[in-house]
Amino acid sequence: MPDAYAMISEEESASGLGAAFRAVRDRTLALTAGLGPEDMVVQSMPDTSPTKWHLAHTSWFFEHFILIPLGGGKMWRPGWDYLFNSYYEALGPRHPRPARGLLTRPPLAEVLAWRAHIDSAMEDLLTRDNSPELTALTLLGLSHEQQHQELLLTDIKHLLAQNPLRPLAATAPRGTIPSLGWIDHPGGLMEVGCRSGGFAFDNEGPRHHVWLAPFQIADRPVCNGEWLRFMADGGYSTPSLWLSDGWARAQAEGWEAPLYWYQGEDDRWWTFTLEGCRPVDPAEPVCHVSQFEADAFARWAGTRLPTEAEWETAMQHRFNPGPAFGSAIRRHPFSMNGADAGGQVWEWTASAYLPYPAYRPAEGAIGEYNGKFMSGQMVLRGASIATPPGHSRPSYRNFFPPHARWQFSGLRVARDA
């Protein structure tokens, strides 16, 4: 298998780039199964996007960056560049992000027809052109679409959670807090960043040296049972545990538990999931916490968040998403049973999202993909149950503002040795 296909799962890449293209595009549509047209139009907050917009924007990416410049194609409809360009300043003005939910037109059916057109045009192009440029841009387009698959799930979860008629409750196994061990790392001069040969986003390189002091990192993420202890011990009402910005945000938004948790009439904590509401399972990795909350928890526990270099160094040979990356589309973290529980929740780090030494974004609009977001955001490592199969890797750098909670985000603690 060519290394360039490493970002696609083995199953998807077995038949080459064309098959990988079809598999990724089909998976996006599969994620919308069970949604009605109304579900796909509404935007629940400025940070989220409607499902219809995700479906359109991912198609726009292939049209704008591949089919028009490399395939001789034309824009499907005039003006759609304005509607579905996300953030590429070099491509001109755009519809404001917070108003994406106001786009009742074009209708869903036309967006789906556009997707089908893009699919056949891309598949046709891939059969007659195997240039390195087309391969590289197609891999970028597929990785981009996989990022939107995860966003689609987190955004639809946030939207459905606004509905006061909660979905039917589902029973869930209630585990006990799993044991926690520590991984020792001696520190020293280490290398981090993507290696050459496989696909990686530009922000994962260049590979470079870092100096690490000796440290320990937990062998699993923090679980709900531990988070319940943090809450019971006044974690959300003790300002000395919090960074100032985090405390201000927690007060302003009334945080007293992770996002989507609520107290049922039985006084137990329950959580809203895409598989129905259920009592909080103490053995699941805690999910939907901000970096501010993760930092406060770590301080309460007498630990700290790992830096991204510590995480990558310690986890690069242990990162094994396991069943969370299976072919089934999972919609909620599951109980940890003592085995490696990585890959269920993205793990916040203590590292600001900054360029690596000698990082240079690409020329032109595509250079806006990552580099311009290196301000005011924190790095998350790993993968979540919503991350598409084969999409992540140990060098992968996810990033969100420290107050963001709607992603499938948790934490793993570390401490100085």
Residue ranges in 203-344 assigned as alpha helix (H): 224-232, 244-253, 291-300, 308-315
Comparing CB distances to Fe ion, the nearer of 247 and 396 is: 396
DSSP code of residue 323: G
Q: Give 86 or 273: the residue with its C-beta nearer to Fe ion.
A: 86
Nearer to Fe ion, 391 or 412 (CB): 391
Q: Which stretch binds Fe ion (CB under 5 A): 43-51, 85-93, 207-215, 251-259?
A: 85-93
Segment contacting Fe ion by CB under 5 A, of 83-91, 120-128, 183-191, 335-343: 83-91
Nearer to Fe ion, 51 or 86 (CB): 86
Which CB sits closer to Fe ion, 86 or 395? 86
Show the binding pattern over residues 330-369: x = contacts Fe ion (CB under 5 A), - = does not.
Answer: ----------------------------------------
Q: Whole-angstrom Cα distance, residue 124 to residue 86?
A: 26
Do 183 and 342 touch, CB atoms closer than 8 A? no
For the CB of residue 376, give the shortest distance to Fe ion in the complex, in Å.
19
| DSSP E strands, 81-197 | 182-185, 188-192
Residues that bind Fe ion (rule: CB under 5 A) add up to a total of 1
Buried b / exposed e across 213-231, counting CB within 10 Å, b at 16+?
eebbbbbbbbbbbbbbebb
Pick 35 or 366: Cβ nearer Fe ion: 366
Tokens of residue 127, six digits: 């059969």
Q: Which of residues 160-199 bind Fe ion (CB under 5 A)?
A: none
Distance, in Å, from the CA atom of 203 to the CA atom of 151, rounded to the nearest integer, reads 19
Residue keyed to tokens 């360009």: 85
Q: Are strands 188-192 and 208-212 parallel, antiparallel or unpaired?
A: antiparallel
Compute the least distance from the CB of residue 314 to Fe ion, in Å.
Answer: 31
Residue 75 region by backbone torsions, left for phi larger than 0, else alpha for psi between -120 and 50, else beta: beta
Instruction: Candidates 79-87, 168-176, 246-254, 330-338: pick the segment binding Fe ion (CB under 5 A).
Output: 79-87
CA distance 109 to 280: 38
Per the CB < 8 A criterion, the answer to whether 101 and 43 are in contact is yes
Longest dimension (CA), the chain: 63
Phi first, then psi, for residue 217 (nearest 5°) are -130, 140
Nearest residue (CB) to Fe ion, 86 versus 303: 86
Give whichever of 94 and 174 is closer to Fe ion, judged by the CB atom: 94
**With respect to Fe ion, which residue has the nearer C-beta, 87 or 262?**
87
Shortest spacing between CB 147 and Fe ion, in angstroms: 7
Selected from 43, 51, 59, 86, the binder of Fe ion by CB under 5 A is: 86
Select 86 or 291, whichever has its Cβ closest to Fe ion.
Answer: 86
Evaluate whether 140 touches 391 at the Cβ level (below 8 Å). Answer: no
User: Measured from the CB of residue 145, what is the shortest distance to Fe ion in angstroms?
Assistant: 9
Write down the least CB distance from residue 152 to Fe ion, Å.
11
The stretch near Fe ion (CB under 5 A) out of 24-32, 41-49, 84-92, 160-168 is 84-92
C-beta of 50: minimal distance to Fe ion in Å? 14
417 near 216, Cβ under 8 Å?
Answer: yes
List Cβ neighbours of 72 (8 Å cut-off, separation of 6 or more). none
Does 59 interact with Fe ion (rule: CB under 5 A)?
no
Tokens coding 255: 């945080």
Burial 303-315 (b: 16+ CB within 10 A, else e): bbbbbbbbbbbbb
Residue nearest to Fe ion (CB): 86
- The stretch near Fe ion (CB under 5 A) out of 39-47, 82-90, 277-285, 290-298 is 82-90
Closer to Fe ion by CB, 151 or 283: give it.
151
Q: Is the distance from CB of 345 to CB of 403 less than 8 angstroms?
A: no
Region near Fe ion per CB under 5 A, out of 8-16, 81-89, 304-312, 371-379: 81-89
Q: Residue 85 Cβ, how far from Fe ion at the closest point, in Å?
A: 9
Q: How far is the CB of 54 from Fe ion (least distance, A)?
A: 8
At residue 380, the 3 state secondary structure works out as strand
Q: Find out whether the peptide bond into 206 is cis, omega within 30 degrees of 0.
A: yes
User: How many other C-beta atoms are found inside a 10 Å radius of the C-beta of residue 3?
Assistant: 11
CB of 369 to Fe ion, least distance (A): 8
Q: How far is the CB of 43 from Fe ion (least distance, A)?
A: 15
Which residues are at the interface with Fe ion (CB under 5 A)? 86
